[in-house]
């Protein structure tokens, strides 16, 4: 078929409908078939077609220049037999149109929100300001309706089938060096914290601008009025910036200033380890040398000769022993990155697995007379540091960093962390670390580890089946000496009991210091701890319900909500256990709080309808009624067949649902916006 025939067929009605179905496979066919003549004329003439808009979107999302993208698309059109109409100017204009479309949707979303959280993160010369806001119930239902054009971007909490309860995204980017109002010495010498606070206001003003550059003052004031939470890292300027935002008067409802828990965890487990001289020397010797010095891992990673010799040494170890710490293949990369301490866990484990090959490599370099004296002495020092005591310290460091990194990645360094579970996961992590490193079970085999500690089941009490400390001792149990020149080195040397006690005591001090800092950083914030009222599993414990009700009142006072909201929440809390059981019927595995809350809100709505009848005004509950007053008999949860109210129940039922969602939504919005 000729190219002109394909081009002619693309103009037909059937081809256009088929293209629409292909580009949006999740759209029902019934929505694609009706084709309006008015909409058809929008793509008539010399205007961008849907395929051009998709290309512009891809060019915007890909790190390529406009000219480079145009050349790529021209080649694609030539291969497909199409006439290229897209140039760099058209591409730029289409991206600009998409920019203002996204900006308009974001502005509308923030105008409808009743609670907004802001976070700030500096990346080199750029300052990123992100937002997280609640989505009103009616807006969420409209965005979830079939055929509706919902806002594009990340949805924080995929709460319910009615639509997301929380939305988040990027509010703006501020260039710290070049975005000063006037490039004067006075501007550059201003207080850094005050400049950061002013930059947040500038980003908000830009978010409320129209294409002509005019700022919508009403929308800007409404947005600042609904800001309730600010998050940043723990640097001094960011902490002072939070206090300036609270006392500045532009954000009257800003009541909570918190810090990034992922950043807090990273600092908490890094600093105590480097505070010990033995572990600091180990870190500098293997990973991060001082100025004018060398470290073993970067030297190997940055030298092709050293890497080739290491691979040859591994092949020899595999030929003689069959594996190296269970690995039956040659490890080609150490995967170390200097800027972050997190990146040392994997290279340390690889170093311990390749310890025989590493020793052979260092012996080769130390005995090679073609090397300089400096290289030979450096290789010999690295080889002499491969003994039982030093390798035990390396194994404990690897296990410690792996445990802390796993705790960080599972609970905080994720897209949507559940802050309501922070006290619980911290308690479990504390028990596990003391069990492994303070009590010393990290040195035991899995068969020797008891199933409980002090009569209670310890979370994760089973030690790792093959931790790094065990791996390195299994690897150095060979009696084979390593000869280099006229000297000999043994990997398998006996460490005295006093050496083991000293190393384990040092690691115990590191763990206790890390846990104490985590306790201060993560649990001293009263508001963050009070958010555990949204942890649904806690409400099943009868002895904790009064504590949770008190935390609910504290949150309502902090957010300046009415006492009626606390009363409604207290009533809802007493019904929570049967509602939770009903919500978990279709999914036996316990779900997280953001997933269960929307389902529980709907179940609470139907339970109230069944108990009080459709004509009751649920929203006018007296504030003076005590929330702890027990009902004669708790209402049974509604069946799945009764989860949809009738038409005459819609008005009062919807009012109750809106009040519940909006009341708790002011706190719900702050959950995972801590990164």
140-154, 212-226, 278-292: which range is least confident on average? 140-154
Q: Looking at the 3D structure of the chain, how many domains does it have?
A: 4
How many Cα atoms within 13 Å fall on the side-chain side of residue 20?
16
Per-residue pLDDT, averaged over 421-433, amounts to 90
What CATH number is attached to the domain comprising 136? 3.30.420
517-550 residue pLDDT tens = 999 888 888 888 888 888 777 777 778 878 887 8
Q: Is residue 73 part of a domain?
A: no
Is there a single domain that holds both residue 236 and residue 282? no
146 in Cβ contact with 132 (< 8 Å): no
Residue 58 inside a domain? The answer is no
Same domain, 355 and 312: yes
On whether residue 61 sits in a domain, the answer given is no
pLDDT at residue 641 in the model: 41
Residues 201 and 164 in one domain: yes
DSSP state of 434: I
Specify the residue for token string 């509604």.
638
Looking at the fold, whether 355 and 478 belong to one and the same domain comes out as: yes
Nearest 5°: phi and psi at 232? -160, 180
- Residue 621 CA to residue 625 CA, distance in Å, equals 8
pLDDT in tens, 627-651: 333 343 444 444 434 444 344 434 4
Asked whether residue 674 is assigned to any structural domain, the reply reads: no
Q: How many CB atoms lie within 10 A of CB 480?
A: 11
Is 156 within the bounds of a domain? yes
Which residues, at least 6 apart from 521, have a Cβ–Cβ distance to it below 8 Å?
234, 259, 261, 264, 268
Check pLDDT > 50 for residue 456. no
| 251 lies in the same domain as 271 | no
- As a whole number of angstroms, the distance between CA 262 and CA 245 comes to 23
- Note whether residue 342 is domain-resident: yes
- Sign (positive or negative) of CA dihedral 324, 327, 328, 332: negative
Q: What integer best gives the mean pLDDT of the chain?
A: 75
Task: Please report the pLDDT score of residue 518 as a whole number.
Answer: 92
Within a domain: 68 = no
Range of the domain at 7: 1-47
Is the pLDDT higher at 359 or at 468? 359
What average pLDDT does range 377-385 have in this prediction? 88
Q: Distance of alpha carbon 507 from its chain centroid, rounded?
A: 29
Question: In which residue are the tokens 């404990």 written?
Answer: 396
Summarize the confidence of residues 606-612 as an average pLDDT.
56
b vs e for 406-442, b when ≥16 Cβ sit within 10 Å of the residue's Cβ? ebbeebbbeebbbbbbbbbbbebbbbbbbbbbbeebb
Domain end marker among 495, 522, 549 = 522
The upper half-sphere exposure of residue 324, i.e. CA atoms within 13 Å in the direction of its Cβ, equals 23
- 274: Cβ–Cβ under 8 A, 6 or more apart, which residues? 280, 283
Q: Whole-angstrom Cα distance, residue 465 to residue 392?
A: 17
User: d(Cα 163, Cα 156) in Å, to the nearest integer?
Assistant: 11
């Amino acid at each position: 078929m000729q190219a002109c025939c394909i081009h002619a067929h693309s103009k037909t009605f059937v081809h256009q409908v088929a293209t629409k179905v292909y580009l949006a496979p999740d759209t029902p066919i019934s929505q694609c078939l009706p084709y309006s003549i008015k909409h058809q004329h929008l793509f008539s003439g010399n205007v961008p077609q849907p395929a051009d808009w998709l290309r512009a979107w891809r060019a915007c999302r890909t790190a390529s220049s406009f000219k480079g993208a145009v050349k790529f698309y021209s080649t694609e059109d030539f291969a497909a037999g199409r006439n290229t109409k897209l140039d760099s100017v058209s591409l730029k204009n289409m991206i600009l149109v998409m920019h203002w479309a996204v900006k308009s949707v974001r502005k509308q979303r923030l105008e409808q929100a009743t609670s907004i959280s802001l976070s700030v993160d500096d990346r080199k010369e750029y300052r990123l300001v992100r937002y997280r806001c609640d989505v009103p119930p009616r807006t969420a239902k409209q965005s979830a309706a079939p055929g509706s054009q919902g806002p594009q971007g990340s949805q924080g909490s995929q709460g319910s089938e009615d639509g997301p309860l929380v939305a988040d995204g990027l509010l703006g980017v501020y260039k710290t060096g070049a975005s000063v109002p006037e490039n004067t010495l006075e501007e550059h010498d201003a207080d850094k914290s005050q400049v950061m606070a002013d930059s947040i206001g500038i980003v908000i003003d830009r978010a409320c601008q129209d294409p002509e550059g005019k700022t919508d003052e009403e929308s800007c004031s409404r947005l600042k009025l609904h800001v309730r939470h600010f998050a940043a890292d723990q640097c001094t300027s960011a902490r002072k910036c939070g206090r300036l935002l609270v006392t500045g008067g532009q954000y009257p409802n800003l009541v909570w200033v918190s810090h990034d828990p992922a950043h807090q965890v990273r600092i908490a487990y890094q600093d105590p380890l480097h505070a010990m001289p033995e572990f600091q020397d180990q870190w500098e010797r293997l990973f991060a040398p001082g100025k004018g010095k060398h470290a073993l891992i970067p030297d190997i990673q940055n030298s092709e000769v050293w890497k080739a010799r290491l691979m040859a040494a591994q092949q020899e170890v595999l030929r003689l022993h069959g594996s190296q710490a269970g690995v039956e293949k040659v490890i080609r990369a150490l995967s170390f990155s200097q800027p972050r301490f997190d990146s040392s866990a994997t290279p340390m484990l690889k170093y311990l697995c390749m310890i025989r090959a590493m020793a052979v490599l260092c012996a080769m370099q130390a005995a090679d007379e073609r090397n300089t004296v400096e290289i030979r002495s450096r290789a010999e020092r690295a080889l002499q540091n491969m003994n039982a005591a030093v390798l035990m310290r390396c194994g404990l460091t690897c296990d410690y960093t792996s445990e802390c990194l796993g705790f960080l990645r599972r609970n905080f360094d994720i897209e949507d962390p559940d802050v309501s579970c922070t006290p619980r996961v911290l308690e479990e992590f504390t028990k596990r670390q003391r069990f492994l490193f303070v009590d010393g079970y990290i040195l035991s085999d899995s068969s020797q580890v008891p199933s409980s500690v002090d009569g209670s089941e310890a979370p994760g009490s089973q030690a790792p089946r093959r931790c790094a400390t065990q791996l390195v001792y299994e690897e150095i149990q060979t009696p084979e000496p390593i000869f280099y020149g006229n000297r000999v080195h043994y990997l398998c040397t006996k460490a005295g009991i006093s050496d083991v006690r000293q190393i384990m005591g040092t690691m115990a001090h590191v763990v206790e210091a890390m846990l104490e800092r985590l306790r201060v950083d993560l649990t001293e914030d009263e508001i963050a701890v009070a958010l555990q009222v949204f942890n649904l599993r806690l409400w099943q414990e009868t002895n904790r319900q009064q504590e949770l009700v008190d935390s609910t009142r504290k949150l309502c006072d902090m957010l300046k909500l009415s006492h009626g909201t606390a009363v409604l929440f207290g009533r809802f809390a007493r019904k929570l256990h049967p509602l939770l059981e009903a919500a978990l019927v279709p999914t036996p595995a316990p779900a997280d709080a953001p997933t269960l809350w929307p389902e529980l809100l709907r179940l609470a709505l139907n339970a109230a309808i069944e108990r009080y009848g459709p004509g009751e005004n649920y929203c006018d509950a007296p504030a003076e009624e005590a929330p702890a007053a027990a009902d004669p008999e708790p209402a049974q949860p509604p069946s799945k067949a009764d989860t949809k109210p009738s038409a005459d129940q819609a008005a009062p039922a919807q009012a109750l649902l809106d009040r519940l969602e909006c009341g708790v939504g002011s706190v719900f919005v702050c959950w995972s916006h801590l990164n």
